[in-house]
Amino acid sequence: MAQSRRPRRSGARRPASARPAPKAPVTDGPVIELEIERVAHGGVFVAHHEGRVVFVADAIPGERVVARIVDQGRDRFWRAETVEVLTASDDRREHVWPEASVDRAPEKRAGGAEFGHIRMPRQRALKADVLRDALARMGGVEHAVEVEPVDPALAPDVSIDEGTGWRTRVRLHVTPDGTVGPYAARSHTVVPVASLPLAVPALAALAPLGERFPGVRAIDLIAPSVGDPSLVAVGDERMPRGDRPTIEERVGDRAFRLDRDGFWQVHTGAAATLSRAVQELIDGDLFDPRAANHDLYGGVGLLAAAVGDRFGETVRITTVESDARATEHAGANLADWVGARAITARVDRYLDELDEKASAAERARLRDATIVLDPPRSGAGRAVVDRLAALRPRQLVYVACDPVALARDVGLLRERGYELQALRAFDLFPNTHHVEAVARLGAIV
């Protein structure tokens, strides 16, 4: 999910008057008792009531809870919020973020830590369940899944047991009267809080909790690995053209320059974790440094650099990214490799043109290629999968931040002659439902 899950586009903001009014949280829905059965994708849990599926927040499988129905607008299922735990799981703990605890009214619970009431080993097991189930249902693949914590050596200041202190980027929202806070869970209601336990300590100390910022839309807190953290007040004006503030991130011995408001992995150890995983999952016996290797959705060049660092200065690799600023940085960040190129293009259009115009020699180099792709949360999708399958590279290394999107694309690739050969999953978003996976798929001969 590794560094081009689409950079934030500073010039695409709407004026405040054009923003839709937040939907008021439901506080008077019916209250029922439910037996929680299993986890579902999206950080909620499955129960049944009178034959209807109910997706319940703030619960754990095996628990019996009292829940308020907050959405009855669908025939097939309802949504509910836990308001009381009658029979608690052994894996329930005090929430790591008091402002998100089940003890608070649902409409006042801070969002962004929906698994914070669950002990860490069970969190990872639940995420593995979601990914394994998605691969079976949508990908047609039965595959063992273990969600690994980040290597403490890559994030020494993060609490592995508590899953706190890892966020290097935090966005706080601001109400018209200037109140600062995160959104409440599953709503656009700003909730004042006194703590930010998921943030790295430097950001937790910098956060202007309790202060007022009238006339501001949001507050961005950014803690790069090089230099001081910063607080950026975000208005509704467009980002000015020309020079933009930049920051430096370091992964091992390598530095990456990017826009301050550009995309970078949020967990302090994520960039190094994903770089290492991509390096290890590439089948070295199939890798040809002189082939037409690619890094699709390449951002500022993190994964292209990981490939180059493993296979040496003779590597040819093209990184493709739709954001022109990110591509500009990628070109500079990859300057070590004579064979590296950075191209600004939408991936689907780039592959269309490649397939249309490639010579016989270029097609041969593409068939020998390794393709790394790190698409946005929605995944690569059918159009990109179709074109990749037509170009027929030897192996694909797919970095995914959404298990359902990954599973769908694995299924599409299986239909087109690629099989899932290896998979690793990482807990890069502790105390949330999100999980990052890296998969290798090889062409079936």
Residues across the chain: 445
129 in a known ligand binding site: no
Q: How many CB atoms lie within 10 A of CB 209?
A: 15
Rounded Cα distance between 214 and 202, Å, is 24
Sequence-distant contacts of 17-22: CB under 8 A, at least 24 apart:
22/187, 22/188, 22/189
* Catalytic positions, written as ranges: 401
Q: Please name which of 253, 211, 206 lies closest in space to residue 231, comparing C-alpha atoms.
A: 206
Rounded Cα distance between 222 and 169, Å, is 5
Rounded Cα distance between 407 and 142, Å, is 11
Q: How many angstroms separate the first and last alpha carbons of the chain?
A: 29
> What is the pairing mode between strands 293-296 and 370-373?
parallel
At residue 11's C-alpha, the angle toward residues 222 and 112, to 5°, is: 40
Contact status, residue 234 vs residue 220, Cβ threshold 8 Å: yes
280 in a known ligand binding site: no
CA dihedral 183, 188, 192, 196 (to 10 degrees): 10
Which helix (H) or strand (E) covers residue 357, if one does? helix 347-357
Q: In what order do the strands lie in the sheet with 180-181?
A: 180-181, 169-174, 218-222, 230-234
Q: Residue 104 is encoded by which pair of tokens?
A: 């608070």
CA distances from 240 to 49, 237, 332 (A): 53, 9, 22
Sign of CA dihedral 257, 263, 268, 273: negative
Residue type at position 444: I
Q: Residue 70 is encoded by which pair of tokens?
A: 């907050």
Q: Please name which of 61, 102, 72 lies closest in space to residue 85, comparing C-alpha atoms.
A: 102
297 in a known ligand binding site: yes
350 in a known ligand binding site: no
Residue type at position 383: A
Residue type at position 268: T
**From the annotation, which residues make up the binding site for S-adenosyl-L-methionine?**
265, 297, 321, 374
**From the annotation, which residues make up the binding site?**
265, 297, 321, 374
